[in-house]
Structure 1
Amino acid sequence: MEMHTATMESAADDGHVDWVLRAYQTEGTPASQPSSAPVVIKLGYTVTYVLEGRYVEEPPLAYQTFVFTLGDFCHQASRRRAISTVLLGAGAYGYGICFAVRLKRQLLAFCDDPVETAFNSGNGIEIIVDVFLADFPSDDEPSLDVEEDGDFGGIPASTDAVKELAVVKYERGGDVREESCIICFEELDEGVEVMRMPCKHAFHGGCLTRWLESSHVCPLCRHAIPASADP
């Protein structure tokens, strides 16, 4: 079984993050159409924190699994959407925008060799993402919130607060300053509807809605809107 491995260490805004990426060619499941072969991504977290002056490492949380097809990874645009789905679903953005963006960029590049090999062989791919979070909160930064169900990152926005966000059409040179959506990395097309936070930062509506399901702060400046737990 062929394996591709990459390691990276990076400091995020609100903690310290290491991650290891591994990719395996899936044996015994060749597809008649290479683009329909499965791509399975498993992302898991291990958290280390300080308790009474001691470093404590939590048992690794169960992997969250996402299934795509090889066709989803053959083109950069669809690959970006797939990886955004993984990181949003796994709560990565809620931990820190810098961490999530760096991980997304490396995953985009890391997939090149495994995808080419799998497409030529007709095999599928299994990608394992192991994230190691050192949560050492300070007085200036919010601590990492690990929910009982294993979801990471903050508190979701309230449904009413999301419904009240402005939806406007994007026009180059208009009121929207962004030229691309920082969540999915895709450019904003002229005339497309975007959703805008009170801080005036704008994103694709679907991207921002998914983001706010796991975090009530702006992905760019961390401006907060009412959270689901607020009275």
Structure 2
Amino acid sequence: MASDNTSPETPDPGTVRPGGRTARVRAAVLDAAGDALAEGGFAGLDLSEVARRAGVGKTTVYRRWGSTTALVADLLADMAEQSSPRSDTGALLDDLRANAHLVRTTLTDPRQGPLFRAVIAAATCDERTAHALHRFYEIRVAEWAPCVELAAQRGELPPDTDPHEVVRAVSAPLYHRFLLSGAPLDEEAAERAARAAAAAARAGAYRTTPGARCAIIEA
């Protein structure tokens, strides 16, 4: 088991991106935490067991993270940074298809799917985990929002379209299937989500100008 050389004054998880041995330890611990979450859920997450899986001293894990909620928060921050970058195909529908495919692939992955279920379940009863989950989702939405902004610049969408709402409209029905309905989370579902979001955006459903959406509905 590795020795503990961590400084006693360790910053909050996620506030710095360490290098060298510290970075390797962090990566090993986060990987072990993800495996543990996927296998046993949040209730089964234990810092000592994570340390054993990662092959590091448990004192290092307790000193750096201090609690399972802090560890999950750091894991989500790392997942947000490591997730695939947005697409830039030059066409709104193709970009939204790429986003839908990424969401579907993540949620149906044998490891990532159970991991997300565990984190979402934990977020319903733990404020810190909920905050970390919300931050993860907003980082990913912000990553893809420029696809919508570029589409508006090309004239595919009204210029006052809210890009974040369009991206959320793609993933929302996929998360609904994943968590609530039990309906198949297949490529057809991803295609439908992308097409529906694109069609609604073109029709002006996500315009930010006061009264613009109401005018569309009344028309």
Structure (1 or 2) with the larger CA radius of gyration: 2
More helix per residue: 1 or 2? 2
More strand per residue: 1 or 2? 1
Q: Same fold (TM over 0.5)?
A: no
TM-score (norm 2): 0.24
